[in-house]
Chain A
Amino acid sequence: MASVSFDSVTKRFGDFTAVSNLGITIGDGEFVCLLGPSGCGKTTTLRMIAGLETPSAGRVMIGERDVTFMHPKDRKISMVFQDYALYPHMNLADNIAYPLKVRGESQEKRHARAREVADILKIGQLLERMPSQISGGQQQRTSLARALVYPSDVYLFDEPLSNLDAKLRLEARGFLNHLQRDLGMTAVYVTHDQAEAMALATRIAVMDAGIVVQYAPPLEVYRRPATTFVANFVGNPPMNLLPVEAMISDGALHLKAVGLATAPLRVTRAAAKALESGKSLTLGVRPEHLSLASGGEENTIAGQLFANENMGPEALVTLEREDAARFTARIFTDEMVALEGRVTLGFSSDHIHLFDERGLRLPLDHEED
């Protein structure tokens, strides 16, 4: 096991900058998820660790080794591919044992090791089968087994669960989490599924347009998103965002928008300096922090009922405001929520997120800085 670090790494493809001035470090034994929409540079970042892409500038280190221009085979890494990359002409045993074959291990030794790993991954009874004769979930485990069959410094995952159906994906996700707890491997995991990242990562690097916008533990990313992009990307349904106008009076911040009433907010001294009346801000409230309220109180937002979706353990209530902006609340109840016409949702000052006009987080007083 080893750490991985990027030293001002940039990758360009012609005129397109895929990754820009990347400088993150992945600690020894950490499970880091690179999270972002397609085209954000997360896969390119992963492939630079693997050596399948070469940085245009900067250095990539694995432990103390500078691997920037090193061939993949010399890097002591394992990788699980999105399409699994199982060899169709080899049975599962040969597929799993292939890395040992190229290392010159005897047939007997490598098949024994393949069986060992396959048993851990519950595919031991399938070793004689060909990849085309097993299910997608089993193929996924086979490619995982091939990555685990030899010792590596770093384990790389390129959207390994994205080709599985929803139920299998949940199962495989739990299994990966279990595996990480058992092995304590250093892993870098690329995904566009925020739930996957939240569930697996010790730290998440949220990427947007080639830049890491936030690099923090999952709960931190969830509780204190650094930008409106992160706020919108992490969480399901995404955070409600509403443009508001700032008003400072008596050292407290008031937010103004149609149909919105807020209690005066305390902002940190540093933030207060940058704020002035009339500035446009963005207010964010997560759906799970909204509840049904009666009209006219502080910390409420009102609008016409747009949708009322019952999900079983919860209901998603969406209201639409006059300016066509929508607010969704997750109401935790297994009762049917009966609603009609005008709806008011309430929230607590503790669960408000504020972003400035550039979309950067404004720290509030109740958050220690």
Chain B
Amino acid sequence: MRQFSLLSRTAGAAFMTPAGVLIGAFVIAPFFWVIYVSFTNRTLLGRTALNPEFVGLANYISLFDAGSFFTRGEFGFSLILTVQFVLFSALIGQAVLGMLLAWMLQSVPKSLKRLTEMVVIAAWILPEVVIAFAWFAFLDYDDGTLNMIMDALGLPRGDWLLSFPFWVIVVFNTWRGTAFSMMLFNSAFSSIPPSYFQAADVAGASSWQKFRDIGLPLIRGHVVTDLILITMWTFNVFTPFLLTAGGPSYRTEILPIYTYRVAFRDFEFGKGAAVGVIVMLINLVFALFYLWVARKRTAKVVA
């Protein structure tokens, strides 16, 4: 087949150049810079700020030091915390809740469906800082909305951010991200011919049977895509920092916050860069897996 193009090669290249330069300067160069820094003992202040030395794998070795690996505030603790965070807030929270909402939306009047979509999407498009502040105000001990509700119901007040910091960021991230899964599943369900469900209705299937036997198997590909994407996003999310700043005492210090603390609060650039590289490798695995699944799906559609 002949390829038709809107622009000549030269014109196309000219249009690409500004973006190329920016991406080169701010994405690709730092990428290699971080890898380089992770092998040095570069810091912000002191002798090593001016003359960083090449330390080989020392930064990596210190991250995986068996003696302190699982100690609070260390890399291993943060990694396990992040895995739990992803498990509860992304896989169980966002995906399951999103699926539940999307499935329920299939059988409600159109107006209610629109309204629900609007509300959920609003939670998704609001700026992170605004949401974080709203949640902070909601959970505040003295004047928070939640404690006022508890008062009104005659229930004891709670210092939520201090007592349950991990569950606070889990609920926060679930609330924040469910919209995406819901919309993705919703459009996936809508792409199934209505007659499939009607035939099941007539045949006598319950809502759960329709979900288990028809809805879920037919959107399996979308589910895998969704799980990979929200896992990646949650793995890299920094917003909980605005609520808890990683505390109290490192109890909500997920990997992005840990990286930030090491590099920009403790000013250990070398060690921070090493964490960055490891996170990058983990993300690479997710991304490759995602691309592999996506390619497999496309191939299936074409065949």
- Please give the residue numbers on chain A whose beta carbons come within 8 Å of chain B beta carbons, in ascending order: 50-52, 71-73, 75, 77-79, 81-83, 85, 87-89, 98-99, 101-103, 143, 146, 150, 156
Contacts and interface: CB of A to CB of B under 8 A. Distances in A.
Contact of B213 (A77, A85, A101, A150): A101
A87 B196 contact: yes
Given A73-B205, A103-B204, A85 B218 contact: no
Contacts of A143: 199
Contacts of B223: none
Interface string B197-236: 0111111111001000110011000000000000000000
A85 B209 contact: no
Contacts, number: 63
A73 B201 contact: yes
A320 to B, nearest CB: 45
A76 to B, nearest CB: 9
Contacts of B203: 73, 78, 98-99, 102, 146, 150
A72 B206 contact: no
Given A73-B205, A83-B195, A98 B218 contact: no
A102 B206 CA distance: 8
A102 B193 contact: no
* B-side interface mostly: helix
Nearest to B203: A99
Nearest to B210: A102
Give the residue among B193, B202, B218 with the most A Cβ atoms within 10 A: B202
A102 B205 contact: yes
B199 A81 contact: yes
Given A52-B202, A98-B200, 17 more contacts: A52-B201, A72-B201, A73-B203, A73-B204, A73-B206, A78-B203, A79-B202, A81-B195, A87-B213, A88-B218, A89-B218, A98-B203, A99-B204, A102-B204, A102-B206, A103-B204, A146-B203
Contacts of B214: 87
A84 to B, nearest CB: 8
Contacts of B209: 102
Give the residue among B198, B201, B203, B214 with the most A Cβ atoms within 10 A: B203
B198 A72 contact: yes
Given A73-B206, A98-B203, A99-B203, A89 B217 contact: yes
Report, nearest first, the 9 A-B pairs whose CB atoms are least far apart.
A99-B203, A85-B199, A85-B195, A72-B201, A73-B204, A102-B205, A79-B202, A81-B195, A89-B217
Nearest to A74: B204
A102 B204 CA distance: 7
Nearest to B196: A85
A50 B209 CA distance: 19
A50 B202 contact: yes
A72 B213 CA distance: 18
Contacts of A71: 201
Nearest to A75: B202
B193 A85 contact: yes
Given A73-B203, A73-B204, A98-B213, A81 B218 contact: no
Give the residue among A50, A79, A82 with the most B Cβ atoms within 10 A: A79
A81 to B, nearest CB: 5
B59 to A, nearest CB: 49
Given A83-B195, A85-B195, A89-B218, A78 B202 contact: yes
A83 B200 contact: no
A298 to B, nearest CB: 56
Interface string B171-210: 0000000000000000000000101101111111110010
A267 B209 CA distance: 63
B297 to A, nearest CB: 14
Contacts of A77: 202
18 contacts: A51-B201, A52-B198, A52-B202, A71-B201, A75-B202, A79-B202, A85-B195, A87-B196, A87-B214, A87-B218, A98-B203, A98-B205, A99-B204, A102-B200, A102-B203, A102-B209, A103-B204, A146-B203
B202 to A, nearest CB: 5
Nearest to B217: A89
A335 to B, nearest CB: 49
A51 B202 CA distance: 8
A75 B203 CA distance: 10
Given A85-B193, A103-B204, A79 B199 contact: yes
Interface in B108-129: none
Nearest to B205: A102
Interface in B210-265: 213-214, 217-218
